[in-house]
Amino acid sequence: MIWLLAACGGETAPTSPVLPGDDEVVAVVEGGPISRYDLDRTVEETLGPLGRGLDEEGRRRALESLVATRALARRAESELAEDVLLALDRKVERYRERLLTEAFVRFNAPPTEVTEDDVRAYYDTHAERYAAATVRRFEMVLSTRPLTDAERVSFAE
C-alpha cells in the first residue's frame, strides 16, 4: 500500500529534451509528422544564412519540397530491395558516427590559439621542410684543342 502512495506522489517523470519547434507539426506525410524544426533545418541547410529572411511564400515552397521529399523517401523505402536498404542503413550509420565525432571534438577539444611564437618554434624545428631547394647548374664546354690554364679559369668564372 505504501508503494502505491509513493508512485502517486507529486513527482513528475523527467521529460525528454525537445528541439525548438519540434513540438509544432506543420505537415503530415503518410502518418509521419513534419515539425517546424524539420522545416527550419531544411531551410537552413538549403539556403544557409539567406533562409533567415525567407518570407511565408518561400517557407511554403520549402515545406512543399520537404513533403515531396519525405513522400518519395517513404515510397523508396517500401520499394527498394532489402540489400539496397541495408547498404543505405550502413551508410547512415557511418554518417551519424562522423557527425557524432565532429560534435564531440567541437565541444570537448576546442581549437587553441596559435601564436606567432608557436609558428616560429614550429618553423625552426622543421626548417628543412621549408628550405629553398639548392639548384646547381652545369655547363659542358667542348674544345677542339687543349685549353690553357688561363682559359680553364675563365670558363669557371
Query: Is the pLDDT higher at 129 or at 37?
Result: 37
Query: Is the pLDDT higher at 5 or at 89?
Result: 89
Mean per-residue pLDDT for 121-129?
88
pTM of the predicted protein model: 0.57
Query: What residue has cell string 544557409?
Result: 48
CA gap 5, 141 in Å, rounded: 109
pLDDT in tens, 5-38: 445 555 556 677 889 998 999 999 999 999 999 9
Give the model's pLDDT for residue 130: 82
Give the model's pLDDT for residue 8: 53
- Flag whether pLDDT at 2 surpasses 50: no
Angle at 73 between CA 51 and CA 39, to 5 degrees: 20
